[in-house]
Amino acid sequence: MRQLLYSITAFLFLVANIGFCQEVSVERYTQEDGLPSDLVKALAMDSNGFIWVGTDYGVAKIEGGNIVKPLAFNPIDGMYKDLFYSPQGLIAASDKGIFKISQDFRDLHINYFSEALGSLPHHRYAKQIFESKDSSIWIAFQNRIIRVIDNKVYEYTFPEKNNTYHFFRGFQFFEVDSNQFFALSQKGYLHFLDKNKEEFVEIPWDFSGTEIFSVFKLNDDQFLIGSNKGLLQMNFENGEISDVKNLNFKYPVSVIVQTSETEYVVGTWQGAYHLSFADAGLQYSLISETEKLDIQDIILDNQRQVWIATGNGIFAYRQLTFSQPFEALKNKNIRNFSHSDALFFSAENLVYRLDSNKQLRNFYTSEHGEVTALFAHEHGLYIGTTQGQIIQKKIDGRFTILDFSKQGNDVYSLALDKNKNLWFLQHRPNGAALLKIDNVGNILDLTPVFYNEGDHNLNKLKISPQGELYIAAGGRDEYLYHYNYETKRIENLSITIEAIGSDLLWNFDLSFLENDTILLANQKGVFSFYNNKMEWLDLGFYTDKLAMAVLAEKHNRIWINFHDGLVYYDYKSTILYNDVDGLPSKFINPGGLFIDEQNNLWAGTTRGLAVTAIPEQMPQSSMPVIAGIKKSGVTIDGIANNKFLQNSLLQFTFASPDYPAKHVQYQYALVENNEAVQWIDLAKKTDFLYVESLTKGNYTLKIRARNKGHFVWSEPAIYQFKVYKIWYTRPEYIVGVNLIILVLGYLFLQYRQAENRRKRKELEDIITDRTKELVEKNEKLVKTQNQLIQSEKMASVGILAAGVAHEINNPINYVSGGIAVLKKTIQKLEAHLNNFSLAYSNCDQKTKETYNLPDEIAIANITRVTDSMFGTIEEGIKKTTDIVQSIRIFSSSSENVFVQMDINEALDSILLMLYNKYKGRIDIVKDYDTNTKIIAAPANIQQVFMNLLVNAIQAIPQKGIIWIKTQRKQSTIKISIKDTGKGIPKVIQKKIYDPFYSTKDIGTGTGLGLYLSYTFVQQHHGTIQVFSESGKGAEFVVELPLTQQQANG
């Protein structure tokens, strides 16, 4: 049964700064607590710090206050001989084989460590496990060794003399500095691994035949050997054994663990022993709880607590924070510390002196009542008593007595300032008195100074680091005084504290921080006084509790005496120390706190003296884990499930790897959407938390733990989860349902009122609807008829144009042929005329005069005129022919016949036909590409160009420019027609391709031009786009494939 057995003093841990053996508490874990068996053979600690236990009836994990077993736990799956935790996980050696133990969010699982081991015979009855520097796992069996590395298995066999029938000890493994690997059999034969041959070679040593149970590595070349002959030390040099020593420990050693530089705990078959190597040699003592028990294994946890596995359960030894170093001082009322060359303190009428060698002696025995005050200085010690005396005890043993018994009784506070003035307080009939004895022996009573201060309750004198006197007192505005060394007057430093109202502030003690802040301990807690300001220290639970003493140390850490015990405070954490931490009593006397030069804290209690070494920095406790989550009482996997309905009841269980669990305190913070963290204390011995009534949101649960002793809060374990609403509780759903109900209600009310109106107007509405329908149909019929007439007209115009073009073409052919004949005739006539002109030029003057002939005939002028006339006539015929050809192509009925055509020629043909519409008013700017031939239906494409160019011409009211650009791409031709007209508003650009939609005046357009253009472009698998803004012209871009195969592709 798990229990605190008792505390013992002569055990284990020797703390260097203190020099005294630490006390420990003992916890025992047995089968009644949940262990598979009391026969525990192996212990291990995992990476989180939790303790694992191997027994003859299974394996288990001590997880905080719970003992967790594998899901498939079966008592026969037992006989666990060794547990080993490596980066590969927890490995267990048992009679059933080698297993790897893993844990999911809550449950433990056992699987075979390596599938490769299953192919080897006799892989059961493993005894011990070891991991070498190369991450090899070595497993010892009865007469052989298996090595596993990178999932490969190597087997090493040994001569029969190495066979062991020991229940759980086989080969011991160790490595020396030279990277040599050794295996030491239970029968005492030593072997090293020949890595070249990959085999073990036996080497002789002085203790062959000795039974070996354990090996402990001191350093790279020194090892402790546990054997049936006791404890041996084996030393190596250059990879070879240099000597083997018997350390004269008479018991068989089963296991060895080092607890400090010179301290060890060893297990035997008769109990566990504490060993220390001192100048006088090996010293050891039995750990009484384990007497006559077989010690199977020993480990240290992450707090350096000692765990001992026995045949009667587990013993866990926790080092107490405080030690009680002297048996003679137990149950003594210790108080009044002071220090000079040694530490002085009092108990009743005795004064003790503790020197630097930790030697304690009685320094002085008072014959004038109990000792009430001490102050040590370089020449001796001032001692105040209850009968009103001050005794000055000097180092040489002489002493003098200053008697103030006639004036009063207790001299209860002493202080020596920077000017060597001795100040003290004494209880007198009229109240407390303050007196000063200067460095020449003059006595000055400063009590009258306080007569005008109301109640002058003077409680404590303290000297500041600057050597000046401060006085802690009691009252509303009379609680803190200071002696001014310039004016030689007592100054009242007190200020009104609104936070305490009309209450008095009764200061019992004061101390000083490094920044000259004064700390005041009183019935309201602890206040800090600095720069004429008083502030309450936030001590959490102890903020407004009665504080009897306060002591500041370096780093501005503070120790405070409360009725519950001693509290440590560092402005981040508060730690409570009491009898569980080794204090003889949780009540520390006023003046019972002192920190020496080695930073040891001494505590004088009503039941004895205690001391602890204060760490330079308080270590953190181990981080807890969230061990389980339940939703409405059902355990869930918190990793896979982190979404919960609002108002779900969640239970979180957590565990700290600091032991024992009953001393671990927890805090939690539940943060929504990255809010500020506010830590909340959980009740003592509580390792679970219920969470309910959460609304929709994202939450982060943080759990932190704190161990007993010199430990601050751990880093938090963090669990993030989401809370969502049931769909029918969402606001939008509720609002929607209510809205629907309201609408339905309104509609129902309106229904009855509307029913009569509906019936009354039903016939009228039918007549109106039918009349409207007839009107609409008539309008649609008229519009359709007009469109058909217009289409018929367009078709007739096309036929007429084709006929006219044909009829015009015949006379043109006649004219063209006649002109050719006439031209040849004229050319012959010109030849005859040239001959005649030559003959004429030879006629005499008389002949010319006889026939009245001119002097010369201008044949050249006649020729020039006829050539010019023929050129003009031929150009007119060509233009007429081109126009006729364009009309024939444009009016062709073969719209869907695809042939090769030239885009540039088609554009020029349309421009020629439209020349009269733009000549003299619009400039045409052409930018043609060279090869613009495509496969297309020419009539349809020309219709597209006709529509776009007509629209562009009509969009330019006066003068303007039309840019026409063709551009050949890899598989398409891009045609751009851009004008400087009035543009197309963006709001109607999506409608311009609709049939019968027109922006032109009535009668000037059919609304089919762009519709047909869009249709023809789509027919050719092309695209048409418009880019325009109102008032800034328009640009139509048509892109057509070079061939229809490319378009289809």
Q: Are residues 905 and 862 in the same domain?
A: no
Instruction: Using a pLDDT cut of 70, give the percent of the chain over it.
Output: 84
Does the pLDDT of residue 67 top 70, yes or no? yes
Does the pLDDT of residue 151 top 60, yes or no? yes
Local structure of 682: helix, strand or coil: coil
**568: which strand partners?**
559, 575
More confident of the two residues 195 and 866: 195
More confident of the two residues 978 and 94: 978
With respect to residue 116, please indicate whether it lies within any of the assigned structural domains. no
Q: Residue 165: how many CB atoms within 10 A of its CB?
A: 6
More confident of the two residues 898 and 118: 898
Q: Distance between CA 58 and CA 56 in Å, rounded?
A: 6
Contact 204, 192 (CB under 8 A): no
Instruction: Using a pLDDT cut of 90, give the percent of the chain over it.
Output: 41
Q: What's the number of domains the chain is made of?
A: 5
Average pLDDT over residues 895-908: 87
Condensed to tens digits (0 to 9), the pLDDT of residues 219-264 reads 989 999 999 989 999 999 888 888 888 898 989 999 999 988 888 9
More confident of the two residues 795 and 113: 113
Average pLDDT over residues 607-612: 94
With respect to residue 506, please indicate whether it lies within any of the assigned structural domains. yes
Q: Are strands 960-968 and 922-927 parallel, antiparallel or unpaired?
A: parallel
Does the pLDDT of residue 301 top 70, yes or no? yes
The CATH code of the domain that includes 667 is 2.60.40.10
pLDDT at 635: 83
Condensed to tens digits (0 to 9), the pLDDT of residues 973-982 reads 999 999 999 8
pLDDT at 395: 76
Condensed to tens digits (0 to 9), the pLDDT of residues 275-287 reads 988 777 888 999 9
With respect to residue 8, please indicate whether it lies within any of the assigned structural domains. yes
pLDDT at 15: 39
The CATH code of the domain that includes 395 is 2.130.10.10
Tokens matching residue 769: 């609807």
Does the pLDDT of residue 71 top 70, yes or no? no
Q: Distance between CA 828 and CA 833 in Å, rounded?
A: 9
pLDDT at 639: 72
pLDDT at 756: 76
With respect to residue 645, please indicate whether it lies within any of the assigned structural domains. yes
- Find the domain containing 991 and state its range: 897-1049
- Which residues, at least 6 apart from 140, have a Cβ–Cβ distance to it below 8 Å? 126, 127, 128, 129, 130, 170, 171, 172, 173, 183
Tokens matching residue 709: 């002793």
Tokens matching residue 191: 């072997």
Name the residue among 274, 318, 296 with its Cα closest to residue 27. Answer: 318
More confident of the two residues 172 and 816: 172
pLDDT at 550: 95
pLDDT confidence band for 471 (50 / 70 / 90): very high
Name the residue among 1026, 1027, 997 with its Cα closest to residue 1009. Answer: 997
Q: Are residues 932 and 1002 in the same domain?
A: yes
More confident of the two residues 726 and 325: 325
Q: Are residues 858 and 921 in the same domain?
A: no
With respect to residue 171, please indicate whether it lies within any of the assigned structural domains. no
pLDDT at 526: 95
With respect to residue 697, please indicate whether it lies within any of the assigned structural domains. yes
Q: Are residues 826 and 915 in the same domain?
A: no
Condensed to tens digits (0 to 9), the pLDDT of residues 775-804 reads 877 777 666 555 554 554 454 445 445 555
Tokens matching residue 1038: 């048509």
Q: Are residues 974 and 1023 in the same domain?
A: yes
pLDDT at 804: 59
pLDDT at 56: 85
Q: Are residues 928 and 1044 in the same domain?
A: yes
pLDDT at 262: 86
Of 725, 755, 777, the residue that ends a domain is 725
Tokens matching residue 984: 């197309």
Q: Are residues 576 and 439 in the same domain?
A: yes
pLDDT confidence band for 11 (50 / 70 / 90): very low
Does the pLDDT of residue 358 top 70, yes or no? yes
Contact 191, 185 (CB under 8 A): yes
Q: Are residues 434 and 555 in the same domain?
A: yes
Name the residue among 696, 663, 476, 677 with its Cα closest to residue 579. Answer: 663
Q: Are residues 870 and 855 in the same domain?
A: yes
pLDDT confidence band for 451 (50 / 70 / 90): low
Condensed to tens digits (0 to 9), the pLDDT of residues 836-854 reads 767 666 776 776 677 665 6
The mean-pLDDT minimum among 131-140, 195-204, 438-447, 1038-1047 falls in 1038-1047
Does the pLDDT of residue 103 top 60, yes or no? yes
With respect to residue 151, please indicate whether it lies within any of the assigned structural domains. no
Name the residue among 320, 324, 319 with its Cα closest to residue 307. Answer: 319
Contact 427, 409 (CB under 8 A): yes
Contact 391, 382 (CB under 8 A): yes
Q: For the chain, what is the radius of gyration of the CA atoms?
A: 57
Name the residue among 879, 871, 872, 875 with its Cα closest to residue 908. Answer: 879
The CATH code of the domain that includes 909 is 3.30.565.10
pLDDT at 803: 54
Category of 580 on φ-ψ map: left (φ > 0), alpha (ψ -120 to 50) or beta: alpha
Q: Are residues 417 and 537 in the same domain?
A: yes
The mean-pLDDT minimum among 86-95, 400-409, 688-697, 873-882 falls in 873-882
Of 891, 924, 946, the residue that ends a domain is 891
Q: Are residues 311 and 278 in the same domain?
A: yes
pLDDT confidence band for 404 (50 / 70 / 90): very high
Local structure of 216: helix, strand or coil: strand
Average pLDDT over residues 740-751: 83
pLDDT at 403: 93
In this structure, the dihedral spanned by the alpha carbons of residues 537, 538, 544 and 546, taken in order and rounded to 10 degrees, is -60
Which residue is listed with tokens 């306060």? 550
Does the pLDDT of residue 122 top 70, yes or no? no
Q: Are strands 922-927 and 665-672 parallel, antiparallel or unpaired?
A: unpaired
> For the chain, what is the mean pLDDT?
84
Q: Distance between CA 476 and CA 337 in Å, rounded?
A: 30
> Taking the mean position of all CA atoms in its chain, how far away is CA 526?
38
pLDDT confidence band for 857 (50 / 70 / 90): low
Of 699, 725, 751, the residue that ends a domain is 725
Cis before 590? omega within 30: no
pLDDT at 14: 38
With respect to residue 121, please indicate whether it lies within any of the assigned structural domains. no
Q: Distance between CA 668 and CA 682 in Å, rounded?
A: 7
Contact 318, 16 (CB under 8 A): no
Condensed to tens digits (0 to 9), the pLDDT of residues 500-522 reads 777 788 999 999 998 889 999 99
More confident of the two residues 28 and 319: 28
Q: Are residues 517 and 489 in the same domain?
A: yes
Instruction: Report which residue type is found at 114.
Output: S
pLDDT at 473: 92
